[in-house]
Each structure stands twice: as C-alpha cells, then as structure tokens.
Amino acid sequence: MIPFRDYILGGHATFTIVSRNTGTRFTYRVQQKPDTNPPLYFVSVLGSRYEFLGIISHDGRYRHGRKSDYDATTPCSQAFGYLMRHVDHLDTVPIDFYPSTKCCRCGKTLTNPTSIDLGIGPDCLEGKVMHLTDRQRMQWALRHEVTYETV
C-alpha cells in the first residue's frame, strides 16, 4: 500500500480504523476541496450517513470543525486526531487501518489486486510517480513492495 498519509490525502479516500485495544471502529471519508492551493481536505465520519468532522490543512494537521455536529471530545474526533498524529508510524500504535476498494485519488472502484493492495489505481499511480526518474521509480516500487512494471 502507498504510505498512509498519501492515501488519506489522496483526494477521495475512504477508510476504516479499528482500535486493537477496544475494538472500536470508525469509517472516515477525506476529500480534497476543489480548486484550493494549498490543498484543504474535508474529513467526514460515517454515522447513519457521512457527517462533517473537521479539516486537514495544507501542512497535514487535523483541526476539528466548528460546524461539526460532533464535539471535539467525541471518540470519533479523538480517534481521527490520534490517527493523524501517528500517521507516519502507524505500525507502532494499536490501530488497524483498512482502506476501501476505491482509489484514494479519483474515487473509482479498484478491481486489480495490486491496485487494491496499494489503494490507488494504475492511472493515478502513474500520475503520482511519472515525474520520478527510472531509478527513483524503482526505489519507490521496492519500498512499496510492488513490481517495477506496475509503476
């Protein structure tokens, strides 16, 4: 899979996190606000439907939204804040991360097993790594445990 931060900030990410300590789970959707530079992301949590929770600013920091129906101290808000504080080293915290079977960049359904494992479709992946040199692409592929041909 691509790095968790890249997946979450892909533009159309949907994922579930589960606490290994309590078994509590939350499903989130993170969407990039169109035409913003630097990028801004809206975070929603799934209740009976997806409801606004907060934003992720261009520096990758999560802030609870003032217009959220959820209080900043609710478990779903606390869990997302915890996730974003530890997103670069999730393997060291008691959280399991489950991406959806939709591309994190464009939101299309993924059907290729490699794409499902990565969390990103081949066209979006190509756009993400095509600016790299061949050597950088090979290093990226090795780091993400995919074959160079798929990159």
Query: In this predicted structure, what is the pLDDT of residue 150?
Result: 47
Query: In this predicted structure, what is the pLDDT of residue 73?
Result: 96
CB atoms within 10 A of CB 88: 12
Residue 16 CB-half CA count within 13 A: 11
Residue 96, CA distances (Å) to 19, 27, 56, 89, 136 in order = 7, 12, 21, 12, 29
**Rounded CA gap, 17 and 25, in Å?**
6
Same domain, 10 and 59: yes
Tell whether the model's pLDDT for residue 151 goes beyond 70.
no
- Domain that includes residue 32, residue range: 4-99
Residue 122 located in a structural domain: yes
Same domain, 13 and 58: yes
Same domain, 48 and 120: no
**Rounded CA gap, 99 and 82, in Å?**
17
Report the pLDDT averaged over residues 118-134: 71
Query: In this predicted structure, what is the pLDDT of residue 133?
Result: 61
Query: In this predicted structure, what is the pLDDT of residue 84?
Result: 96
- The pLDDT tens digits for 34-92 are 888 899 999 999 988 999 999 999 888 999 999 999 999 999 999 999 999 999 998 89
What is the pTM for the complete model shown? 0.75
Domain count, the chain: 2
